[in-house]
Structure 1
């Protein structure tokens, strides 16, 4: 038996291949999020050229048509979340993530070439296909983290990779806005997005590896450190993670900690989509303040979110490394900050009037910034529950969570018939706050940060043997010693 202190002593001090993999994951999220969210700026530039560069074509699309374009990405994205986890197990994270980003990047080249003859409909179709390809990303990302991260570094490295979400969201606004106003105009938004995506694909093909044992550049010391850490702490074989282990579907579907995670991530998706998409509309309609036309106000909440993601990371690292609190306390506390504080912020903003615009901006920035804690709070929980099935779990979780951004705008449309009516918006915010609050409460009660029994690579075979033994035991009791049947045993 290897002592934990021995594992710590073997830890390589230099930057290793595991850090290269984390950096590649970080960049992959950025390039995919730039392609995902540049549509907000692109649609404005394509329908109102005077706001950016008037030397490029302008299209007369209705508000409904623009809404279809903005939401169409999610129509495809939720469909491939679950298949993404399965495909990752079959092909490996490296190949599946390459397919995901390569497909999305090549599709990014098409709008400038196709919209002139296909209109808003062809742009919608391209966005749906991009969503389909990007749906493979996060299930693979979590499977890759499980394969590459030593157990005691999982929280830190996983959180670092996921900060690409905030960074990608922020950069998509800044980069797209500057490009649209430049000499290459709105078509440049798509070409730059495709270019950085294809560049990442080349780096991933060169440096990426499904598992540490497959890396051409990893040192023997680092390989031994990762494998020793994972084998000692979880009793799994690294070279078989996510490849040959059968999925215990029944055990997963009846696991309360897993459903607590599904509920938490779905509640987060509802609340954050309200913060991201609906709050700016409220501030324009009720507070008479167009957030989207002001680059600083638009980017400020996401800048706060990106900065806060590192604050959460540093605090959690200090608390865990000094054994001040457990991982369970970290996850549930951070998730509470990320859910309940924005819930309070949503309700409070709904009480403000046009004379309190500055207060509304501050609260919105704080709410979005505090929401960054959801990454450490619950997004990484799939790896806690089951490193072997992290990709599958993330596929299921993200499928549920990605349906929400399709539903919330429809619900808002039913409630808000007059965008200047504050009472109608208050109902929207109250619903989002209640979802935030109850989702986190369910996670606090039923969420677990420990390895589940069904993660064991021999879980299904052991379960089958236990069932056979139980059946034989019952049969022998029924026979009550009559005849030779009483001698039936399991050797």
Structure 2
């Protein structure tokens, strides 16, 4: 008689949690990346709605606005992991999203008073709040995803990156050109954030056991899938918080391979993400309505490709054609090296080749969607127990990069209509893309590391305790010998 495998319900609370994570990324990315379109609208009112104020900001000031979000964002990544471990994802993500939504609402009121400096200050504060989010997303996925569904559910949640960026680009451009003008971008960004917060408070739960809506069958399925460790590890999890093995993590080559590839992919991606509206306006000479459409098109391709990558990975895994290691490294290579080639090609095009330029940008961003399955979910592969902490460290490094890329553009691009200056920007990004992925292919790993074990530090202490015990025995024998010698002499 064969044992029946518990596969859980086809649709359940784990899917609700995944969908909520997807939406959380969407609404935060709308608030995060609407600046790419908003800054163009605020400095070129004739291309959108001339009934709203226009600001005379130069390229460097615009670059400061685009990068300022990340000044705050990098400061709270690790804090997000810590808060999630102590207070749970439900509370931490609510605070993160609600704070960001309230701050984005301030832009139309404070920029007329404080100029680009006020806009920068608001985006710094938004970054501080949003920096709490992604460590919680990965920790929440580790708590809710059965091992066999981790790749699928993790990829579905992270599709919010593409959907959020798409909406930030396209909807923001349409709103800026409407009767709402550029201030409407910020009103809508705030509204969708608040709506998500309400839904999260109703349906969100830190763990399956804390959910009031989960069925018993699904609870058993998730817990039996995740709980595959020894009874001693489960005892540690139940009685105390698992300590973080900092030394083991920071000396782990697979961890640093993940760290590097996420940073280099962030470099290439953020160059396109933040600069597409300015490039299309300056070099391709597209007006805002067309700019919004074509700026959003690459992210529509990315969203579609994310589904393609997901379906293909499921087929390849279930049929045993590729292991998870093969999937991760293949997808990461596609997501890094093909966009690198496209960026180099893009750098040689001008306004007479608009169609080809749009195709190459669409291909670059679309193919880059493979980075989610390729490397982003690798934090959970390496250590489900410390996924939030790992994501906090990795995301800190990866988001230092978007601070640098707009500033580099501001240094290199003195004339936004000069194709040669943009050419240098794209070639640098292509080189960075290539090097980071090569390191990941060589040193990246897709299995739980020894330091993931709940009792890893206990095992590390045992040899030390044994050495201390032997030393104490040696000292005791020496004292006994000394005392015997003293007694004999008397």
TM-score (norm 1): 0.90
Match of 1:10 in 2: 6
Match of 1:252 in 2: 249
> Does structure 2 conserve the Cα–Cα contact (< 8 Å) formed by 1:31 and 1:168?
yes
> Does structure 1 conserve the Cα–Cα contact (< 8 Å) formed by 2:63 and 2:410?
no
> Offset at 1:414?
3.9
2:328 aligns with one of 313, 326, 331 = 331
Match of 1:89 in 2: 85
Match of 1:452 in 2: 449
> Offset at 1:109?
1.9
Partners of 2:277 and 2:230 in 1: how far apart? 45
Structure 1's 337 and 479: CA in aligned 2 closer, same or farther, altered over 3 A?
farther
> Offset at 1:304?
0.7
Match of 1:399 in 2: 396
Partners of 2:239 and 2:153 in 1: how far apart? 19
Structure 1's 80 and 233: CA in aligned 2 closer, same or farther, altered over 3 A?
same
> Does structure 2 conserve the Cα–Cα contact (< 8 Å) formed by 1:7 and 1:225?
no
2:414 is aligned with 1:379: no
SS in 2 for 1:34: helix
Partners of 2:34 and 2:238 in 1: how far apart? 36
Partners of 1:240 and 1:133 in 2: how far apart? 29
> Does structure 1 conserve the Cα–Cα contact (< 8 Å) formed by 2:60 and 2:407?
no
2:298 is aligned with 1:307: no
Match of 1:488 in 2: none
Q: Which runs of 5+ in 1 are unaligned?
A: 486-491
1:346 aligns with one of 339, 343, 363 = 343
Partners of 2:213 and 2:294 in 1: how far apart? 44
Structure 1's 366 and 330: CA in aligned 2 closer, same or farther, altered over 3 A?
same
2:189 is aligned with 1:193: yes
1:160 aligns with one of 119, 142, 156 = 156
> Does structure 2 conserve the Cα–Cα contact (< 8 Å) formed by 1:350 and 1:425?
yes
Structure 1's 464 and 277: CA in aligned 2 closer, same or farther, altered over 3 A?
same
Structure 1's 388 and 109: CA in aligned 2 closer, same or farther, altered over 3 A?
same
Match of 1:38 in 2: 34
SS in 2 for 1:365: helix
> Does structure 1 conserve the Cα–Cα contact (< 8 Å) formed by 2:170 and 2:295?
no
Partners of 2:276 and 2:295 in 1: how far apart? 11
2:90 is aligned with 1:130: no
Match of 1:360 in 2: 357
Match of 2:174 in 1: 178
> Offset at 1:77?
0.8
Q: What are the superposed Cα offsets for residues 199-250 of structure 1, whole Å, 9 maximum, x if unpaired?
A: 1111111110110110001111111111100112687549949971111111
> Offset at 1:289?
5.8
Partners of 1:439 and 1:24 in 2: how far apart? 31
Partners of 2:422 and 2:437 in 1: how far apart? 23
TM-score (norm 2): 0.90
SS in 2 for 1:9: coil
1:211 aligns with one of 207, 213, 220 = 207
Match of 1:57 in 2: 53
> Offset at 1:410?
2.9
**Farther off after superposition, 320-329 or 410-419:** 410-419
> Offset at 1:285?
5.3
> Does structure 1 conserve the Cα–Cα contact (< 8 Å) formed by 2:36 and 2:275?
no
Map 1:91-130 → 2, pairs under 5 A: 91-130=87-126
Structure 1's 191 and 22: CA in aligned 2 closer, same or farther, altered over 3 A?
same
> Offset at 1:408?
2.1
> Offset at 1:350?
2.8
Structure 1's 266 and 291: CA in aligned 2 closer, same or farther, altered over 3 A?
farther
Partners of 1:7 and 1:54 in 2: how far apart? 70
SS in 1 for 2:206: coil
What root-mean-square deviation, in Å, do the aligned CA atoms of Structure 1 and Structure 2 show? 2.9
Q: Which runs of 5+ in 2 are unaligned?
A: 483-490
Structure 1's 349 and 122: CA in aligned 2 closer, same or farther, altered over 3 A?
closer
Match of 2:431 in 1: 434
> Does structure 1 conserve the Cα–Cα contact (< 8 Å) formed by 2:173 and 2:288?
no
Paired residues, number = 481
**Farther off after superposition, 273-282 or 297-306:** 273-282
> Offset at 1:287?
5.7
